[in-house]
């Protein structure tokens, strides 16, 4: 069990006076990340299902004694909802110090978001791409600040298929998930490169990605086979609390204050696939993502 559990975040860093947004924090590793960070500072839980999010927030408030655990509506499958969330946040808050892009979908049957994007691409990549874009100026003004993108070891199986980005010619839901997780790694890499060109290292404005591990969670709910396997091999899976450790580490660890563009697993640097280190693909994906979302992000 100790081997399966992996690394733990040892940082006792406090976040008094700081603001954290975590997407998809009503369950799984997102909820456990929120539970930990709520012991350090103000946490905004951004979720599609408000009822589940309020239940999670109420539990965390009772456990931590922190009343600054706030629920906000955010549906990453709808760019209108993303823009409304960002607009409301910026009207209410002056600062944002940590953005954890945690929410995701996995193994969905072929379906599309409200804007016509394939679901894995739309939620896991484009939704968080747009959210980060809309909150970037606030993050800049709040530096030192951090962007944390929850990717996966599955990025090793991904490819950015520009000729069929939406999976309309051929679709495999397992591969679609892998492709979206590779997009998370490439987005992080290109974002860090662009930020480094504008901010000196000492400012501490960083973007990193991570693999949480194989975690017992609701993420496999769309696959009967995976749900069955997850139950059989549950002893070899991380608990949500164990799976949240690298997210927490990337959000608060003092030694990462000037580390950017990296990929972590078990609270330490991890190997990135060759496709995840392809700068030309990262630049092209950035450009295509902007085009799909109708934004200009130079």
Q: What is the pLDDT of residues 118-135, one digit of tens each?
A: 999 999 999 999 999 999
Better-predicted residue by pLDDT, 265 or 6: 265
**Whole-angstrom distance, CA of residue 116 vs CA of residue 22:** 25
Nearest to 57 by CA among 48, 45, 74, 42: 45
Does residue 218 register a pLDDT over 70? no
**Whole-angstrom distance, CA of residue 135 vs CA of residue 131:** 6
Q: What is the pLDDT of residues 67-109, one digit of tens each?
A: 999 999 999 999 999 999 999 999 999 999 999 999 999 989 9
Does residue 5 register a pLDDT over 80? no
Mean pLDDT of 184-212: 87
Residues of the chain with pLDDT > 90, as a percent, come to 84
Residue with tokens 């992080």: 188
Across all residues in the chain, what is the average pLDDT? Answer: 91
β-pairing, 263-265 vs 268-269, is antiparallel
Lowest mean pLDDT among 101-110, 214-223, 273-282: 214-223
Q: In the chain, what are the domain boundaries?
A: 15-291
Does residue 32 register a pLDDT over 50? yes
Better-predicted residue by pLDDT, 29 or 6: 29
- Please tell me the predicted confidence (pLDDT) of residue 235: 46
Q: For residue 208, which phi and psi values (nearest 5 degrees)?
A: -135, 155
Terminal Cα distance for the chain, rounded: 46
Does residue 63 register a pLDDT over 80? yes
Determine the distance from the C-alpha atom of residue 286 to the mean position of all C-alpha atoms in its chain, rounded to a whole number.
17
Does residue 171 register a pLDDT over 90? yes
Confidence of residue 7 (pLDDT cuts 50, 70, 90): confident
Does residue 49 register a pLDDT over 80? yes
- Please tell me the predicted confidence (pLDDT) of residue 233: 46
Does residue 223 register a pLDDT over 60? no
Mean pLDDT of 178-195: 97
- Please tell me the predicted confidence (pLDDT) of residue 196: 86
Confidence of residue 39 (pLDDT cuts 50, 70, 90): very high
- Mark residue 23 as left, alpha or beta (left: phi above 0; alpha: psi -120 to 50; beta: remaining): beta
Determine the distance from the C-alpha atom of residue 167 to the mean position of all C-alpha atoms in its chain, rounded to a whole number.
22
Token pair in block for residue 174: 């397992």
Does residue 298 register a pLDDT over 90? no
Confidence of residue 197 (pLDDT cuts 50, 70, 90): low
Residues of the chain with pLDDT > 70, as a percent, come to 88
How would you list the strands of the sheet with 145-150, edge to edge?
Answer: 69-73, 41-47, 15-23, 98-101, 145-150, 205-211, 263-265, 268-269
- Please tell me the predicted confidence (pLDDT) of residue 232: 46
Residue pair 29/247 in contact (Cβ under 8 Å)? The answer is: yes
Token pair in block for residue 244: 């949240």
CATH architecture of 15-291: 3-Layer(aba) Sandwich (3.40)
Active site residues: 177
Q: Which residues of 158-191 are buried (b: 16+ CB within 10 A; e: fewer)?
A: bebeeeebbbeeeeebebbbbbbbbbbbbbbbbb
């Amino acid at each position: 069990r100790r081997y399966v559990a992996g690394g733990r975040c040892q940082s006792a860093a406090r976040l008094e006076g700081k603001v954290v947004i975590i997407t998809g924090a009503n369950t799984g590793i997102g909820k456990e990340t929120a539970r930990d960070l709520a012991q350090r500072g103000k946490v905004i839980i951004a979720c599609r299902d408000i009822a589940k999010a309020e239940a999670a927030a109420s539990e965390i408030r009772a456990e931590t004694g922190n009343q600054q655990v706030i629920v906000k509506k955010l549906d990453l499958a709808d760019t209108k909802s993303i823009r409304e969330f960002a607009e409301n946040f910026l009207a209410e808050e002056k600062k944002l110090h940590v953005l954890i892009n945690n929410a995701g979908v996995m193994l969905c049957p072929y379906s599309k978001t409200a804007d016509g994007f394939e679901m894995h691409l739309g939620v896991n990549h484009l939704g968080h791409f747009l959210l980060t874009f809309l909150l970037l100026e606030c993050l800049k003004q709040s530096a030192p600040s951090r962007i944390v993108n929850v990717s996966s070891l599955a990025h090793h199986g991904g490819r950015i298929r520009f000729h069929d980005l939406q999976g309309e010619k051929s679709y495999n839901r397992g591969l679609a998930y892998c492709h979206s997780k590779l997009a998370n790694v490439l987005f992080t890499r290109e974002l860090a490169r662009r930020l480094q060109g504008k901010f000196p290292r000492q400012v501490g404005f960083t973007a990193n990605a991570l693999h949480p591990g194989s975690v017992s969670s609701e993420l496999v709910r769309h696959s009967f086979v995976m749900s069955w396997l997850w139950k059989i091999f549950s002893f070899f899976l991380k608990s949500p609390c164990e799976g949240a450790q690298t997210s927490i580490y990337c959000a608060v660890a003092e030694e990462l204050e000037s580390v950017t563009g990296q990929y972590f697993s078990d609270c330490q640097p991890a190997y990135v696939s060759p496709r995840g280190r392809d700068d030309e693909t990262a630049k092209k994906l950035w450009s295509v993502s902007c085009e799909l979302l109708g934004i200009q992000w130079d």
